[in-house]
Structures are given as C-alpha cells and as structure tokens.
C-alpha cells in the first residue's frame, strides 16, 4: 500500500526523480519525511495483502454433488450452416456474412444479409475502456483502453486472443477458426481462436396452447465467439444470429478484479469506493464501457432513424359513454432523429430506436426497419458514470451516452484509436469532432447527407465488486448485449420457414390456429398435409383415454445415436497457447507478492 510519485517526463533515466510518498491515507513530502514517520513508535502499519489459496480459481477437492458430470450439448448429424474457411464466409438460414479480425479489436463482421437483403455493412468492436475510482493515487486515476494492448493478437503485451478451450469456451462440436496478425515483417497465427456453432436454447422461440392443440418451436441460434484476455480481465465476445433475423452483440467479463488495499483507517473514505473482500483487500468500483460500430444498411444504404415513443394520453372516443367521457390510454408518437446526436436508453423502455428504409416497404406498406435495443444481459447497457473525466480527457467521449447516431463518412472509419491511450487530451481520433450535430435529413436544403448513417453503441457494466467476485468475476452477472430486431422488415415472422418444432393435436377437430379445421382421423396416415401444402410427419401416442398425435415441422431424430467420448469431453492434449509468457495477474498485482491491487 505504498505509493510514490515519480517524475519520468525526461527522456533520460538519470533525470527521473521521486517526490511525494503516500501511505495509509497520509501524504509525505519526500522520502526523508516518510522515513522519519516510519521510525515513530506511533506509526500505524497496514496489514499485508498476502496471496494464498483464497485466490485460486479452482478447487480440486472431492464434493458429493459433483461426482457426476453435467449435461452437455451434442450435434449428432453435423452443422447446418455453411462455412467457407478460405473466404471466412458463413451462411445459415437466410443469414450471410463475412468475418475478419484486427490486432487491436478482434472480430469484425461485414456485409451481413438476411434473406438476400443487406442489413449491416460493418459491425465491429472499436474500444474497450475500464475507468476506476478510489481514494489512493492508483485507483483514483486508473483507466485502461484495451485496444492499445491488442484484443485480436496473441503475444506478451498483456493483450491476447487465446486458443479457445473446446467443450468449455464453445461446444465440442463447434468449428474453430485460426486468426492471423502481422508484426515485424512476420505473419503470426493463433489456432482455434474463433468458434462458430449452432446451439438450441433451453427455452422455446415460440409456443402456444390452444383448445385442441399445443405448438412449440425450438429456439436454435448461430453464435460466432472469441475470447480476449487483457491483463486481469477475460472478455468473451459473441455475435448471435436468430432465425427471425435478429442479431445480438454480447460481451461477458470474467477474470480477477483490479482491487485496492483495505487499510481499516477510519480517517479514510475507502468504503465510498467498494467493499472489504478479504483481510487487507478492498474492491474498487469501476465502469466497463465497450464501444461498437454498426454501419446499418437496412434494405439499402438510404436510412432514417426515429424514436418511436409510447406515450400516455387522455382521449374521448365516439363509443365512450356519458359516465366515462374520457379515456386514459396510450399511443405511438414518432420523433425523427434529424441531426448527429448521442442517445440514452429511455426510461421505462418508453421509446423504440428504429432505423428505417423509407423507400422499401413490406407487403402491408410499412417501412422496412430494424430496432436497436438493450438485449439479454444484466439490464440496460450503461455508459460512463464519471462526467467529463479528468483522466480520459477527450479520448473516450463516445462513452458518455449509450449510443450515437452519425453520418457515415469514409474519412471517419472508427470512433477510437489505440494510440489515444497516450494522448487523452489530444487524441488521434477525437470523437467530439465526429459527433458534431451535422444534419441527418437527406434531401433537405443545404445538406449533402444521402441517408447513409452509422451507429456507435456501448456495452459494459457498472461493476461494484463484492465477495462473490473472489476469486473471479462470474460471467452470468457481468454480461450485457444489444440486439438488432427486425421491425416490419418482413411480411410475417420469417422463422416459421426455419424452425423445428412440434404440434400436439389433442382430441377434437380444430387446429391451434384461429381459422380452419384439422380432422384427426386414421392414425395410419403417417403424412398429413397442411392447407399451405407443407407435409408434416405424424406420430400418434396413446395418452389416457384419448390419443395425442404429434406432427413435426422440420427434421426430427428418428433413432438413437452413439456419442463418442470426444463429443462429451474433448481431448486437451493438443491445446497450445503459443505464448512465451503470460502475466501472472492476481489480487496482489502482476506476479505473486507485488504490492498493488490486482
């Protein structure tokens, strides 16, 4: 818990000086004053923060409740997506896209199409920032801009994109891709650092129980996933594709928290910044804000963004009765986004942020669009709490709102640059010069805007670490996501043509729909035909005094399969890291025994 002020502004080491010293809430002018205080018999020493088994991330003990392995997912018949490894091209149930990686930021996706129409031209991480607060000289001014360390390469720079652990980071049946980066005239390869797989969730995509039938559709989705370890944190980043055309961008964080010394000094304010989590360790509050770029081209490049608000109102209708002449209700009000601006997620989720193509409409005359919304993580995605950060300067102004709507410009390809870390008050990419309130009204006088917009959105968390973050932060409590959901993009739910499911026909004649009838007759008819011509396999099963006929849409499993051990517990003998050394980041710093928070 000793901190020293070092003046290292000179290019010559001989000119470096050590000035003030800080210990246990007291600032000392110089080394002499600090040494004199140490000799004082009343000097209060803080307890040491000693590493030990309490920081171990695993417990190999025998416990009765884990003497059987957990359930795992298997894929008996191979993948249903198509993967061109040479072109890094993927297609799956109407989705098509290309993927690539960058040294600084990892995976990006390009030319994302659904059912033949482009939805997104570019989607990729721009920066990952963590900003701390505390009452010591380190925590009080600590921030990281992780693209500087490299989230898409693998070498000893504290920034890594490691080989994924099969069966753990991704299902054993996933396809694993290698990534490459170039440095010092050499091409380097990291094997198995990206995975692609289909997964069937433990909850349905849709279901309905009607008077005479039950219909259930499985929720199977496609995931592209990678893991970037930057110092103490591991970020699992994934792109999830759903059968209705929805795309989700998600991040989960784990690893060791960067903590502070706990001094138990009543004159200090350390309890303002975290909780005591061990003998001499305190957590440090911090914000994670990860910025993504999405260049939306919804059914083409000419788009508009609107805020579709759900607002209360009082209105009199013609059918209202004299005893209740006015009705309290709600309605939709559309507010066009007419200039470059930052937006926050609305209170009570009372607005929809929708990107429309006004020139392209569905069969019902509605504009084709995609809605942008906070997704399936821990509540709404956050932005930076600190106002006008004196540490960040102008290097991360994109973190001040949840999302930004800007005019697309080839001269503004990204929101951040790794070198911004070194020059926060004069960054190489100054986001304030990009978000400068230019007009977003295409066709308006005195504007060159052609309708091609770009959105920058943030994921992350307000992290208040507690005892449950020891030894590692848990992913299910530190995840966030943003979803892009079709909004009148199709004429009806397109997943009906892709999902696999079942309809259980109960006793009776009517189907689960709200129109038409379905006659349940001779059970020897193994094939039934729906009014739209689709053939459904039928299987009858006795149930009580009646009979339930199961009719399936999409392929079903017709016989059992033998599962090899590799599909359940992959062989780890070939796992490699291709790293000469890995920083031993833990609660006591970079390597055991060093005295600062880890």
Q: Could you give the residue numbers annotated as active site?
A: 146, 233
291 contacts 406 by C-beta, under 8 angstroms: no
Give the 3-state secondary structure of 453-516.
Answer: EEEEEEEEEEECCCHHHCCCECHHHCEEEEEEEEECCCCCCHHHHCCCEEEEECCCCCCCCCCC
Give DSSP secondary structure letters for 129-143.
EEEE--SSTTGGG-E
32 contacts: CB under 8 Å, gap ≥ 6: none
Residue (of 246, 197, 204) closest to 224 by Cα position: 197
Structure tokens at 482: 């943003």
Question: Would you call 471 exposed, middle or buried from its count of C-beta atoms within 10 A (0-12, 13-18, 19+)?
Answer: middle
Which H helix or E strand runs over 92?
strand 89-92
Q: What are phi and psi of 270, to 5 degrees?
A: -65, -25
Question: Would you call 531 exposed, middle or buried from its count of C-beta atoms within 10 A (0-12, 13-18, 19+)?
Answer: exposed
CA distance 93 to 241: 10
Q: What are phi and psi of 229, to 5 degrees?
A: -105, 120
Across 61-96, b (16+ Cβ under 10 Å) vs e yields eeeeeeeeeeeebebeeeeeeeeeeeebebebbbbb
420 contacts: CB under 8 Å, gap ≥ 6: 127, 145, 395, 396, 427, 428, 429
Structure tokens at 461: 């968390």
Omega of the bond leading into 471 within 30 degrees of 0 (cis): yes
CA distance 371 to 451: 17
Which H helix or E strand runs over 70?
none
CA distance 114 to 243: 10
């Amino acid at each position: 818990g000793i901190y020293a002020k070092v003046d290292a502004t000179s290019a010559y080491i001989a000119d470096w000086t050590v000035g003030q010293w800080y210990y246990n809430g007291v600032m000392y002018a110089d080394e002499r004053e600090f040494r004199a205080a140490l000799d004082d018999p009343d000097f209060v020493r803080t307890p040491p923060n000693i590493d030990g088994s309490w920081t171990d991330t695993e417990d190999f003990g025998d416990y009765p409740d884990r003497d059987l392995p957990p359930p795992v997912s298997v894929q008996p018949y191979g993948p249903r997506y198509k993967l061109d490894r040479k072109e890094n091209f993927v297609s799956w149930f109407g989705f098509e896209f290309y993927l690539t990686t960058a040294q600084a930021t990892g995976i990006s996706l390009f030319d994302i199409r659904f059912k033949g129409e482009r939805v997104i031209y570019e989607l990729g991480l721009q920066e990952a920032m963590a900003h701390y607060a505390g009452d010591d000289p380190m925590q009080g001014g600590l921030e990281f801009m992780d693209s500087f360390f490299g989230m898409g390469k693998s070498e000893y720079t504290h920034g890594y994109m490691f080989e994924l652990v099969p069966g753990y980071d991704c299902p054993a049946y996933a396809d694993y891709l290698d990534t490459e980066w170039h440095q010092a005239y050499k091409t380097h390869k990291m094997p198995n650092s990206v995975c692609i797989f289909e997964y069937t969730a433990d909850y349905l995509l849709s279901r309905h129980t009607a008077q005479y039938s039950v219909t259930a559709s499985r929720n199977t989705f496609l995931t592209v996933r990678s893991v970037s370890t930057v110092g103490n944190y591991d970020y699992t980043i994934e792109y999830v594709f759903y059968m209705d055309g929805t795309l989700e961008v998600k991040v989960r964080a784990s690893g060791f928290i960067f903590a502070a010394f706990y001094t138990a000094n009543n004159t200090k304010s350390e309890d303002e910044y975290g909780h005591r989590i061990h003998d001499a360790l305190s957590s440090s509050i911090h914000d994670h804000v990860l910025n993504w770029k999405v260049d939306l081209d919804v059914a083409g490049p000419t788009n508009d963004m609107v805020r579709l608000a759900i607002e209360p109102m009082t209105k009199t209708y013609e059918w209202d009765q004299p005893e209740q002449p006015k009705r309290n209700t709600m309605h939709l009000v559309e507010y066009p986004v007419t200039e470059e601006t930052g937006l926050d997620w609305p209170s009570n989720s009372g607005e929809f942020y929708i990107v429309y193509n006004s020139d392209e409409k569905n069969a019902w005359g509605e504009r084709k669009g995609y809605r942008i919304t906070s997704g399936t993580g821990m509540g709404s995605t956050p932005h930076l709490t600190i106002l006008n950060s004196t540490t960040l300067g102008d290097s991360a102004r994109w973190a001040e709102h949840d999302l930004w709507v800007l005019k697309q410009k080839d001269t503004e390809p990204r929101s951040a640059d790794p070198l911004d870390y070194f020059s926060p008050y004069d960054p190489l990419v100054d986001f304030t010069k990009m978000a400068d309130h230019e007009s977003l009204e295409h066709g308006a006088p005195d504007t060159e805007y052609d309708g091609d917009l770009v959105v920058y959105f943030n994921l992350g968390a307000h992290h208040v670490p507690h005892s449950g973050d020891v030894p590692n932060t848990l992913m299910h409590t530190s995840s966030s996501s943003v979803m892009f959901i079709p909004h009148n993009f199709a004429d009806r739910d397109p997943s009906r043509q892709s999902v696999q499911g079942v309809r259980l026909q109960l006793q009776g004649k009517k189907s689960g729909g709200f129109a038409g009838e379905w006659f349940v007759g001779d059970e020897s008819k193994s094939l039934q035909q729906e009014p739209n011509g689709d053939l459904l396999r039928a299987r009858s099963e006795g149930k009580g005094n009646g009979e339930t006929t199961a009719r399936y849409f999409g392929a079903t499993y017709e016989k059992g399969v033998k599962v090899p051990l590799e599909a359940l517990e992959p062989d780890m003998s070939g796992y490699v890291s291709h790293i000469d050394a890995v920083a031993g980041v833990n609660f006591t710093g970079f390597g055991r025994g060093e005295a600062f928070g880890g």
